[in-house]
Amino acid sequence: MRFLPLLIIFVVWLNIQLRKNSNNSSDEKFWARERQANLSRSKDISSLDYITIDLNKLPLDTKEDQTLNSYRDTIVKLANKKILNLSGLSNTDLKEKYGIGNLQRLIEYENNYMTLVSILHKWAQRLYDNSYLDEARTVLEYALSIKSDVPGSYKLLAKIYRHENRPEKIEELIRRLSDINIHDKEKLIRSINEIIPS
């Protein structure tokens, strides 16, 4: 019995050491991969799946609400920029796939995408809050067409479909989510399912 406290201390110490070694091993693998990625040569990125904003599919008329107009103007400006959805890829992934020389441009194009989907959601929410439901739906459906990863856009669109008494569109929305890389997808699907009228 007198060895029991020593045995417990030893087991605790051993677990700590094993955890440290495991973390060190992960860190070493990460840094080895990062070093290798930093040596990757630049590849041609001209044929990537760039998003071209189709302004004809969006409600561009001027409103009294200047915030709505500013959201529209931001989207119009983005239409002249290169936009890429690179969600799910880390900087290391990007360097490995396309070379370190392309990293800054790819980050810029991804930032344009994040701005685009964020502003589309804010624009749609503001339209919805101001009772422009048709236009809010148009903006949200466009956001879906470019595979927006903003969960709120899907929930807001489901609310509009419910208001329009179109449960089949909510079900279609849920099906489309299977192709989208989005955070907490299962939780989002459950919350949209709760919107479907029983």
Q: Where in the chain are the domains?
A: 46-193
- What is the rounded distance in angstroms from the CA atom of residue 49 to the CA atom of residue 51? 7
Please tell me the predicted confidence (pLDDT) of residue 1: 52
The DSSP call for residue 167 is: H
Give the separation between CA 179 and CA 49, rounded to whole angstroms.
Answer: 15
**Three-state secondary structure of 96-155:** HHHCHHHHHHHHHHHHHHHHHHHHHHHHHHHHHHCCCHHHHHHHHHHHHHCCCCCHHHHH
Copy the structure tokens of residue 79.
């239409």
Q: What is the pLDDT averaged over residues 50-58? A: 97
pLDDT-based confidence at residue 6 (cuts at 50, 70, 90)? low
Q: Which tokens sit at 105? A: 């441009």
Distance CA 195, CA 198 (A): 9
Does the pLDDT value for residue 24 go beyond 80?
Answer: no
Q: 3-state DSSP call for residue 66?
A: helix
- Candidate CATH numbers 1.20.1430, 1.25.40, 1.20.120, 1.10.10; the one for domain 46-193: 1.25.40
In whole numbers, what is the pLDDT of the chain averaged over residues?
Answer: 87
The pLDDT assigned to 163 comes to 94
pLDDT category of residue 23 using cuts at 50, 70 and 90: low
Q: Return all residues near 156 (Cβ < 8 A) that are at least 6 apart.
A: 121, 124, 125, 128, 136, 140
CA distance 157 to 133: 10
Q: What's the confidence (pLDDT) of residue 62?
A: 96
Answer whether residue 52 shows pLDDT above 70. Answer: yes
More confident position, 82 or 9:
82
Sign, CA dihedral 57-63-67-69, equals positive
Provide Rg for the chain, Cα atoms.
24
Looking at residues 15-42, what average pLDDT do you find? 67
Report pLDDT for 20.
Answer: 58
pLDDT of residue 181: 82
Q: What is the pLDDT of residue 7?
A: 57
C-beta contacts of 113-118 below 8 A and 24+ residues apart: 113/51, 113/83, 113/84, 113/85, 113/86, 113/87, 115/74, 115/78, 116/51, 116/53, 116/75, 116/78, 116/83, 116/146, 117/143, 117/146, 117/148, 117/149, 117/150, 117/153, 118/150
Listed residue (123, 150, 154) closest to 139, CA to CA: 123
Whether the pLDDT of residue 37 is over 90: the answer is no
Residue 49 is predicted with a pLDDT of 94
Q: Is the pLDDT of residue 142 over 90?
A: yes
The pLDDT, as a whole number, for residue 182 is 86
pTM of this structure:
0.81
